[in-house]
């Protein structure tokens, strides 16, 4: 079970604001952590992830894992896994794909469409809920503290 320890609401009037938020969180977050990226299609989840990874030192291509479900990135301080679960029909597909071992105690995971992973995914350490249109995007952030059941 997770308890909310901090909440924040950020307005993202342009792409530079998205980049600034991603850079700030890239500096704050360390593994192990699971980050849920939530919101409708086209609200900026993958753009946020691209800027997050750039801020963590990734210089090569940052692809959306919409069809592959997963893109791994190796950093000096460990692995970052970017999941896009949009095309998942059943959470069991994640188990069949062998993803369980990626939710370890040494990696950082960014998960788009976590609701499609249902109870298979571990609880989030940070949740970003994107909303709005291109000219008026917003994101609600919730940090969680894990509590033993």
For residue 146, the model assigns a pLDDT of 66
- When divided into structural domains, the chain yields a total of 1
For residue 119, the model assigns a pLDDT of 81
In terms of pTM, does the model score above 0.85? Answer: yes
For residue 134, the model assigns a pLDDT of 66
For residue 95, the model assigns a pLDDT of 79
For residue 78, the model assigns a pLDDT of 86
Q: Are 136 and 13 in contact (CB under 8 A)?
A: yes
Q: Are 108 and 31 in contact (CB under 8 A)?
A: yes
| pLDDT tens-place values along the chain, 149 residues long | 568 888 999 999 988 999 999 999 999 998 889 999 999 988 889 999 999 999 999 988 887 777 678 999 998 888 999 999 998 888 778 777 878 777 777 889 999 999 998 888 888 999 999 998 767 799 999 999 864 43
Domain CATH for 111:
3.40.50.300
Structural domain containing residue 18: 2-146
């Amino acid at each position: 079970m997770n308890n909310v320890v901090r909440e924040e609401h950020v307005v993202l009037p342009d792409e530079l604001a998205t980049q600034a938020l991603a850079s700030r969180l890239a500096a704050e977050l360390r593994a192990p952590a699971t980050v849920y990226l939530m919101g409708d299609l086209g609200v900026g989840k993958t753009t946020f992830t691209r800027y997050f990874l750039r801020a963590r030192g990734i210089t090569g291509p940052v692809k959306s894992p919409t069809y592959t479900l997963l893109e791994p990135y190796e950093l000096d301080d460990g692995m970052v896994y970017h999941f896009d679960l949009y095309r998942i029909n059943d959470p069991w597909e994640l188990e069949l794909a062998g993803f369980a071992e990626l939710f370890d105690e040494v990696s950082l995971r960014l998960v788009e469409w976590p609701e499609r992973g249902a109870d298979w995914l571990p609880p989030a350490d940070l949740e970003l809920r994107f909303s709005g249109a291109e000219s008026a995007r917003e994101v609600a952030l919730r940090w969680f503290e894990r509590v033993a059941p």
